Structure 1
Amino acid sequence: MMPSSLARALVAGAVAAAVLAAGSGVQAKPKPPKPPKPEPSVPVRLLALNDFHGNLEPPTGSSGRMVDEHGATVDAGGAAYVAAWMKRMTNKDTIKVAQGDLIGATPLISAAYHDEPSVEFLGDIGVTVSSVGNHEFDEGYAELKRIMKGGSHPVDGPSPAGRWKGAKYDYIGANVLLEKGRDLPKLPGMEVLKKIKKKRLDALIRQYGLPALPPIAVRKVNGQQVGFIGAVTETTPTIVTASGIAGLKFAPVVRSAEFGSKLLKELGVEAQVLLVHEGDNVLTGQSPDACSTTTDPDGSAGAGTEIATRVDPEIDLILSGHSHQAYVCTVKDPAGNDRLYSQGGSFGRVISQVDLKVFKKSGEIDRTSVKIDNQIVTRDIPADAKTERFVQTWKDRVAAVANQPVGSLSADLTRTQTPSGESTLGNLIADAQLAATAAEGGAQIALMNPGGIRADLPYAPDGVVTYGEAFAVQPFNNLMQVVTLTGAQLDALLEQQWTPTRTAVLLPSASLTYTATLTNPFGDRVSALKINGTPVDPAASYRVAANNFLVGGGDAFSTFTQATNLWSGPLDLDAFTNYLKTNSPVSPPPTTRITLN
């Protein structure tokens, strides 16, 4: 046993040593804190299509090819291959979505039956929600509602498949508003708004407008809610027939996306995705996964990028459409945070695969987890047999009409533009429209919008043009009309072909010639304007033929709305096919009607 005096001495020494060590700054190293545990999350996969345009059969020519990740050009698209790739890419975490223009401007196999076959196919492969595109309004708002709800076509009745049962997916569009009214339309998908407290919903509608379509949709996967906001290009009123959208207004996308985000917030949905039918142009020949978007001609960001960078920071991801391009970009939201923005080409040639994680507790998307792969729908895998049978059924149904010869060619007629903006096919269509409207409508010239020409007419294999091929060129069933413009108004109309943000040269009939000086300022580029070789008198009146889309001010040719003495004639397709029948074999017309100075 240690003597107490010694023990006391040892304790005192130890205390002194401790005090000395403390005074000298020497301390025991603290243990590092444990890193926080990552918040638990669940996986979600989105598979997205945009701008399908009813391409049930594999699209041909350049419309059926894509540049892949390695720079190779490969054949792509076709419903049976879309279905096959969808099956390969689908897992238990998958939600399938789309960004509009699924219908409209479609091949005859779909258009002959008001696109019911395409909508049925998309529902069958599991698309659950889509934003509307401008082409969803090609036959008007009333027809879009029929496609959504079901019922036979009011003029043509039921298709060979029977009475239409309605789309299996919801169309959404937060910026498609009713100009008048107090009540929400009774449409599929609108019921989600009934889950919001009425007083709060009414307040939001007073602030943002009365929706004509469901603005949002909510889907659940792995116990987590994912919200989708729909929007369509603000230019829709200028690129669809005005009568079809009477009573509607198309609000700014950024403001309406905020509306959709607030609606989702009211429902407690934090994971938010914008499906917007608006996009950018890209550099040619790039990988579909590259961020190859380009600025507009005036140097400003593209319309899609503007939206992607400006919409509410609560929105985590933007999937786009409309420009038919493929890209994957990272942009900054208004709060300075990264978010992904992408598009997947067109015509069923690309499926955008989006993989992400949603935090279990907060319901937020972990933006660092978001990955996008634009998978090209190649045709080097076995096609889906069920879809092949489905497509063949509709092909057989339309064959009698599609295969009917309507004329013949001596050489290819294409949409390829010369430096002046003319094309052999466009000029021929203008000539056909003049021939169809001159006698009864008194037309002296005809003008055709290039965006209304949807396919080339190749000579191969035998020069014969079928009704199906002619329909592919002009699928809109626009009405031919003739109006009166003064010479000054005609000049003003042609000046509208060039603006700081676009060039849209109208294809002229052979009776119209002029000089375009592209180095002159906008609004002062047209000169030497002649009709049948006679100079146009600014004060005189002239009869001008065009389709009802243009006459209504479409493609931003607002001068047409100043016209008088409207006359309506045949459908544009009938004008085209009748011209082919009467003048076959037709040859490519000269492309010298516009002289560049």
Structure 2
Amino acid sequence: MKKKHLLNLTLLLIFIYSCKQEPYSISKIEGKQIAIKDSLELDKDFDSLISPYREQLEKDMHRVLSYAPKTYTKSDGDLNTAIGNLMADVVFSEGNPIFNKRTGKNIDIVLLNHGGIRSIISKGNITTETAFKVMPFENSIVVVALKGQQIDSMMHYLSEAKRAHPVRGITLTLDKNYKISNALVNKKPIEKDKTYYVATNDYLYDGGDRMRFFKPNDSVYYLDYKIRNAMIDYFKKVDTINPKIDNRFTQTK
């Protein structure tokens, strides 16, 4: 009986050993060179499929919405620019009715960032494509409830940044050393215990451009409304835009 078990065990070991796979190794590599051409051949079937959509998109992008009597750039002013003022005013005019309908409250301040303006508005017809060039990002409007003390922090941020960040609803005056000499909200002194509603975009709310004064806050409201779409809606309403540099953010020389 023991010999039979020993024989079976021997046969099993021989079977396992014979089934053992040896490690693989690369013996050779084959390939061929494919030349890169200057152009790709057009897939006519695919092109005919997407052609109607492409034509409609091009038509929509080039649809005239309004008119610009001159060219506006983000470098045409020191601490506030016509194009920046336009964008801040658009966020208010198009965003406040939505915010008011949902909450019964009104936006006090708008704050965007200078770097978010990505193109000029050229003299001539304003199209949908214009809005996409000026604001190519998917940033949406956010309204944040802040106390007066945080508004003070926002004013100090603007004074130290020394950039024409688009603003609305504030009057901020700096002296020749960039120190704050006057800071008002809706033409009134800032009340430290008062709640102010500041419209911005989701990128800045999350701390973009070092704007860390948005958190903590009393509450935040997402309007689900892209700034680019607000611009398009505004352009559709006005025959001719007329933004100007004003006294909302200035320095006394």
Task: Output the TM-score relative to the length of structure 2.
Answer: 0.71
* 2:193 aligned partner: 539
* 2:133 aligned partner: 472
Relative to structure 1, is the Cα distance of residues 518 and 547 closer, same or farther in structure 2, using a 3 angstrom cutoff?
A: farther
Relative to structure 1, is the Cα distance of residues 518 and 559 closer, same or farther in structure 2, using a 3 angstrom cutoff?
A: farther
Q: Distance in 1 between matches of 2:221 and 2:115?
A: 23
Indicate the SS of the match to 2:39.
Answer: helix
Q: Distance in 2 between matches of 1:589 and 1:556?
A: 27
- How far residue 412 of structure 1 moved from its aligned partner, in angstroms, is 2.0
The amino acid across from 2:114 in the alignment is: P
- How far residue 432 of structure 1 moved from its aligned partner, in angstroms, is 0.2
* 1:519 aligned partner: 177
Is residue 414 of structure 1 aligned with residue 73 of structure 2?
Answer: yes
Q: Deviations over 1:218-260 (max 9, x none)?
A: xxxxxxxxxxxxxxxxxxxxxxxxxxxxxxxxxxxxxxxxxxx
* 2:221 aligned partner: 567
Q: Is the 8 A contact 1:411 1:588 kept in 2?
A: no
Q: Is the 8 A contact 2:74 2:117 kept in 1?
A: yes
Task: Kindly indicate which of the two structures has a greater share of residues assigned to strand.
Answer: 1
* 1:134 aligned partner: none
Indicate the SS of the match to 1:529.
Answer: strand
Task: Kindly indicate which of the two structures has a greater share of residues assigned to helix.
Answer: 2
Q: CA RMSD of the aligned region, Å?
A: 2.6
- How far residue 411 of structure 1 moved from its aligned partner, in angstroms, is 2.2
The amino acid across from 2:111 in the alignment is: L
Q: Distance in 2 between matches of 1:562 and 1:518?
A: 32
* 2:145 aligned partner: 484
Q: Deviations over 1:463-490 (max 9, x none)?
A: 2111111110001011101111122211
Runs of 5+ in structure 2 lacking a partner? Answer: 1-36, 44-50, 100-105
- How far residue 398 of structure 1 moved from its aligned partner, in angstroms, is 3.7
Q: Is the 8 A contact 1:409 1:584 kept in 2?
A: no
* 1:399 aligned partner: 58
- How far residue 417 of structure 1 moved from its aligned partner, in angstroms, is 4.2
1:163-562 equivalences under 5 Å are 386=39, 398-419=57-78, 421-441=79-99, 442-459=106-123, 463-497=124-158, 499=160, 503-509=162-168, 511-517=169-175, 519=177, 525-562=179-216
The amino acid across from 1:517 in the alignment is: D
Q: Which has the higher contact order (CA 8 A, sep 6+)?
A: 2
The amino acid across from 1:478 in the alignment is: N
Q: Is the 8 A contact 1:437 1:482 kept in 2?
A: no
Q: Distance in 2 between matches of 1:426 and 1:395?
A: 32
* 1:594 aligned partner: 249
- How far residue 565 of structure 1 moved from its aligned partner, in angstroms, is 1.7
Q: Is the 8 A contact 2:119 2:134 kept in 1?
A: yes
The number of residue pairs the alignment matches comes to: 200
- How far residue 577 of structure 1 moved from its aligned partner, in angstroms, is 1.3
Is residue 585 of structure 1 aligned with residue 236 of structure 2?
Answer: no
Q: Deviations over 1:430-471 (max 9, x none)?
A: 000011222232212211101110000011xxx211111111
* 1:111 aligned partner: none
Q: Distance in 2 between matches of 1:544 and 1:485?
A: 7
Relative to structure 1, is the Cα distance of residues 584 and 563 closer, same or farther in structure 2, using a 3 angstrom cutoff?
A: farther
Relative to structure 1, is the Cα distance of residues 411 and 417 closer, same or farther in structure 2, using a 3 angstrom cutoff?
A: closer
Indicate the SS of the match to 2:215.
Answer: helix
Q: Distance in 2 between matches of 1:488 and 1:412?
A: 38
